[in-house]
Amino acid sequence: MTDWIWTTVVETALAEFVTPHRAVSALGGRPTVPEHTSYDLRSRHEYDRLIQAVYDDLCERLIEYDIEPVNSTTQKQRIRTPEQVIGSETRPGEGTCLDLALLFAAVCLERSLRPIVVVFTDHALTMVSKVDDVSQPNHAGSGAFSGGVCRDQTALAGLLDAQSHLAVECTGFAVTRTAAGRTDAGLLTFEQACGAGAAAVNNKALRFAIDPYALHRAGVAPLETELIDDGRMANFLRGVNDAGRAVHAIGRIGPELSMVSIPDEQTTALAKAFKEVSKTYDVVLDVARDWIELAVAGDIGSDPKLLSSLITGDIVHRIETMRGHCHTIRDLYFTDIEPTLQTLLADDPDLLGSVEMEFNYLIGADGDFFDLAAQVGEYIVDSASRALSLQQSGDAEGAKKVMAESVMQTGLLQRALGKNQRELREVVRSLNIPLEPDDGPGPGPGPGSGPGPSGPEPSDGPDGGATVNVHVERGAAVGENQGTINLNFTD
């Protein structure tokens, strides 16, 4: 199972780990209130009973409280998935305060409740509205949030004083017998958990709080599915999302930039920095497009030449040669961009700090974004190799299944890359700076580019995306029944 890694300076990214459907699936079903439907309770605005039902259900899971997984640092923190937190019959679940808060928020959100994940300097918990749900756009407390994030501890405490929210100490539904005041089972009652949560909100040092529902609607996609078992595609997709948020945040300097005249070398430096991100989007998009076209062209199940051409082609080298590099952004930033920002935003230290933080992310993003681009090529080559091996063993249908699965994963990535590339170009236009043109032609087209073998071509989807139809056996179990996977990659 893929490790989840949160880059802690990207606060909004925490919403990715609030996964409502996945959490309830891991639980094996929705928490319920005996003799009442969730709809009835929401209709009567008895949200507190639903919140307690979620809490009581999680108490029954006997999840164990634990510390952070190894390899967590101040810049990155490993997050346990819902499956890891909840556990199984053979392995007890476990989680930190943050793991537990994210799980609780996810289950509440799946029940249409409106959670807030609150992160302190040394703790985390979840607040939940008891006066409204996700159907109300202007929910209680929405005024305290900007862009899905709140840093105003007084405002959060005010929600408790107004009795519009409950603050739930989520470690209360995790077993630990070293803490005082717990039941014989090592848990806190719901009332105890709410009391401890309120005390934390009023007394602990706040870092920030997020509104997961608002951030999901704003485009921070929850990690509801594993993109690939070994994690390469999922890790790069997270890097793509983080890079996209960094570019969007940097774009906030647009109004200030439009009011002053800065030297050409500073404008060029900004353009070149954005180009490093754009180049990475472009080359991975090209490779993904080539792979999808090849995967749906011709009779993959019986023509091994189609796969051999890809395996023998060096698409990993192609990505490495044409992608961007964080050291280039670093050199541009410290030489030309940082002095300009400090002058430009001297009267707005909050915006200056935010933009500098995002540039610092891009400067150190080799391991999170730029280097990971090559892993997409490795994944595609491995998929082709697995399919070719199945072909050669006489399992043509197995090869088709591998190809179809790989096309779906690559298509999800292609969609995210295309969206981020368009948004990057919009930011560049808003800053009135041109993207630097390419220095010259890069490596030639990779395998699968150009006209390629005959076969079905991707067609325009209803929103201008690519629709790819892949025929493959697909059912509740592999091989159970036949059907067509319709891949509609739209924005």
Q: What is the per-residue DSSP string for 93-113?
A: -EE-HHHHHHHHHHHHHHTT-
Write down the pTM of the prediction: 0.54
| Number of residues in the chain | 491
- Last residue of a domain, which of 185, 217, 249? 217
254 and 119 part of one domain = no
Same domain as 272, residue 392: yes
On whether both 187 and 290 belong to a single domain, the answer is no
Helix (H) or strand (E) holding 459, with range, is: strand 459-460
**Boundary (domain end) residue, out of 217, 243, 273:** 217
Q: CA 153 → CA 13, 227, 327, distances in Å?
A: 20, 36, 37
Phi, psi of 450 (to 5 degrees): 80, -165
pLDDT of residue 451: 30
pLDDT the model gives residue 95: 94
For residues 107 and 31, is the Cβ–Cβ distance under 8 A? yes
Joined together, the tokens standing for residue 301 give 């199940």
If asked whether residues 370 and 460 sit together in one domain, one would say: yes
Q: Are residues 45 and 125 in the same domain?
A: yes
* Statement to judge: residues 210 and 239 lie in one domain: no
Spans in the chain with pLDDT lower than 50 = 226-229, 301, 437-491
Calculate helix-pair angle for 264-295, 396-430, nearest 10 degrees: 160
- For residue 133, how many other CB atoms are within 10 A of its CB? 21
From 159, 194, 217, give the residue that closes a domain: 217
pLDDT at 467 (0 to 100): 37
Q: Which residue has the tokens 């933080």?
A: 357
Q: Confirm whether 223 is domain-assigned.
A: no
Beta bridge partners of 470: 485
User: Same domain for 303 and 154?
Assistant: no
Residue 380 lies in a domain: yes
Query: Phi-psi category of 412—alpha, beta or left, where left has phi over 0 and alpha has psi -120 to 50?
Result: alpha
Antiparallel, parallel or unpaired: β 124-129 and 165-168: antiparallel
How far apart CA 120 and CA 208 sit, in angstroms, is 7
Answer whether residue 264 is part of any domain: yes
β partners of residue 166:
128
- Going through 52-201 in order, the beta strands assigned E by DSSP cover 63-65, 76-79, 94-95, 115-120, 124-129, 149-150, 165-168, 174-175
What is Dmax (Cα atoms) for the chain?
Answer: 71
Query: Please, are residues 450 and 372 in contact by the beta-carbon 8 Å criterion?
Result: no
**Chain centre to alpha carbon of residue 113:** 21
In DSSP notation, 356-369 reads HHHHHHHHT-IIII
315 in a domain, yes or no?
yes
DSSP 130: S
List the domain range (segments joined by +) for residue 197. Answer: 4-217
Contact residues for 343 (Cβ-Cβ < 8 A; gap 6+): none
State whether 313 and 171 are in the same domain: no
Cβ neighbours around 407 below 10 Å, total = 24
Bridge partners (DSSP) listed for residue 4: 79
Phi, psi of 131 (to 5 degrees): -125, -10
Distance CA 219, CA 221 (A): 6
Share of the chain above pLDDT 90, in %: 30
Residue 333 DSSP one-character state:
I
Domain assignment of residue 226, yes or no = no
Assess whether 58 and 205 both reside in one domain: yes
CB 285 within 8 A of CB 417: yes
pLDDT for 231:
64
- pLDDT for the residue numbered 128: 97
Handedness of CA 244, 246, 247, 248 (dihedral sign): positive
Which residue do the tokens 């960094």 mark? 246
Residue 227 lies in a domain: no
Query: Could you give the number of structural domains in the chain?
Result: 2
Compute the distance between CA of residue 188 and CA of residue 151 in angstroms, rounded to an integer.
Answer: 28
* C-alpha–C-alpha distance, residues 306 and 313, integer Å: 11
- Specify whether 161 is located in the same domain as 271: no
Please tell me whether residues 126 and 176 are part of one structural domain: yes
Residue 12 maps to a domain: yes
Among 192, 216, 249, 9, smallest CA distance to 109 is for: 216
The continuous run of DSSP H or E covering 471 comes out as strand 466-473
Distance CA 391, CA 1 (A): 27
- pLDDT of res. 442: 39
267 in the same domain as 180: no
Write the single-letter amino acid at 181: G
* Domain-embedded: residue 60: yes
Query: Could you tell me if 385 and 256 are in contact, meaning their C-beta atoms sit under 8 angstroms apart?
Result: no
User: Is residue 79 helix, strand or coil?
Assistant: strand
Q: Is 380 helix (H, G, I), strand (E, B) or coil?
A: helix
Q: 391 near 301, Cβ under 8 Å?
A: yes
